[in-house]
């Protein structure tokens, strides 16, 4: 089949790679423009652009989808447009362009978690299962008829990065399987039940602020769901402290939300609204992330010290 591919971040790379290795013909790759990155803020190409250039695919980087781009893509006459985390909403004229339709790979079990951050919110909300879905795109936000799904358990050791990597790889295979089934005329799109839908909004840095009055399970899930970005954080002695990895620990008598209960070579135990969190990896302000044991070697942390949600403590 003749394919136009649209994608931008790392999540889209396995799908583009598998299309390259398949019998399908990638006519062009559409991705976001180069953006400033790093301390020097120099323009850097998106991951999809780099991979596309390695394989010699024509690359287009529009700020917006213009009539000229629509005409250019129309002249290519693609059978399908494959969209994986492109970063722009596609309008009706582009959706109507391919000979068949546009296929989107979404990192949730639709209609659950429509929107920008489905992987993160599935973990934050304590879900035990997630997956990927291919769908026939329409003008709504992830509302098109579904094609195929693949499910996987969310393990307690998963964070957003590990789950992202799993779903990116499995999603690539699902896209190829979807194309195979469509080519064989052996796949019927299924309308979504919007009554079962939920929304996964884009994350903000403020979402990472830990509320120690929540339960240990809720805090643990939020930390996992926000790793590696935007990251979960608290304040200790007026210094911002990023919390990278945690476990749920047995609670003890006298635990108080946000107060250090004990320290050991294994980590720092902190009371919550219900239960206790063991912090095993963290990142002090202005430093690299480190194991809790290394942190304790250079920072004096005592039982009773409070970790709070602002630089100025409001606790007595």
Kindly tell me the burial class for residue 256, based on how many C-beta atoms sit within 10 Å of its own C-beta (0-12, 13-18, 19 or more).
middle
| Chain Cα centroid distance, residue 226 | 9
Architecture of domain 206-308: Roll (3.10)
Tokens found for residue 222:
């939020």
Please indicate, yes or no, whether the overall pTM of this predicted structure exceeds 0.85: yes
What is the distance between the alpha carbons of residues 301 and 173, in angstroms, rounded to a whole number?
A: 48
What is the residue-level pLDDT of the chain in tens, covering all 316 positions? 999 999 999 999 999 999 999 999 999 999 999 999 888 899 999 999 999 999 999 999 999 999 999 999 999 999 999 999 999 889 999 999 999 999 999 999 999 999 999 999 999 999 999 999 999 999 999 999 999 999 999 999 999 999 999 999 999 999 999 999 999 999 999 999 999 999 999 999 999 999 999 999 999 999 999 999 999 999 998 899 999 999 999 999 999 999 999 999 999 999 999 999 999 999 999 999 999 999 999 999 999 999 997 765 443 3
21: helix, coil or strand?
helix
DSSP conformational letter for 191: -
Alpha carbon distances (Å) from 87 to 175, 202, 264: 18, 12, 44
Tokens found for residue 146:
């579904």
Tokens found for residue 133:
């879905």
Alpha carbon distances (Å) from 179 to 15, 16, 214, 291: 12, 13, 45, 45
Which class would CATH give 2-200? alpha beta
Residues 6+ apart with CB under 8 A from 264: none
Contact predicate 30/46, CB 8 Å: no
Write down the domain spans for the chain.
Answer: 2-200, 206-308
């Amino acid at each position: 089949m003749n394919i136009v591919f649209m994608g931008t971040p790392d999540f889209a790379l396995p799908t583009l790679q598998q299309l390259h290795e398949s019998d399908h013909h990638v006519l062009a790759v559409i991705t976001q423009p180069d953006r400033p990155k790093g301390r020097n803020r120099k323009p850097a190409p998106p991951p999809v652009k780099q991979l596309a250039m390695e394989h010699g695919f024509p690359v287009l980087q529009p700020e917006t989808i213009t009539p000229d781009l629509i005409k250019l893509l129309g002249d290519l006459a693609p059978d399908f447009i494959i969209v994986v985390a492109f970063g722009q909403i596609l309008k009706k004229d582009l959706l109507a362009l391919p000979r068949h339709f546009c296929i989107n790979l979404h990192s949730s079990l639709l209609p659950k978690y429509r929107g920008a951050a489905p992987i993160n919110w599935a973990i934050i909300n304590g879900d035990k299962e997630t997956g990927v879905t291919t769908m026939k795109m329409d003008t709504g936000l992830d509302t098109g008829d579904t094609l195929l799904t693949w499910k996987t358990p969310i393990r307690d050791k998963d964070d957003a990065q590990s789950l992202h990597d799993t779903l990116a790889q499995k999603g690539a295979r699902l896209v190829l399987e979807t194309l195979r089934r469509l080519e064989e005329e052996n796949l019927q799109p299924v309308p979504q039940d919007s009554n079962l839908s939920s929304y996964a909004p884009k994350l903000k840095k403020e979402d990472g602020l830990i509320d120690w009055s929540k339960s240990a399970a809720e805090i643990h899930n939020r930390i996992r769901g926000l790793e590696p970005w935007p990251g979960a954080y608290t304040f200790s002695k007026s210094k911002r402290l990023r919390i990278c990895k945690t476990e749920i620990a047995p609670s003890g008598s006298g635990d108080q939300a946000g107060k250090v209960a004990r320290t050991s070579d294994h980590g720092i135990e902190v009371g919550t609204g219900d239960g206790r969190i063991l912090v095993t990896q963290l990142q002090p302000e202005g430093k690299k992330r480190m194991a809790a044991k290394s942190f304790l070697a250079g920072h004096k942390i005592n039982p009773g010290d409070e970790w709070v949600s602002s630089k100025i403590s409001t606790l007595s």
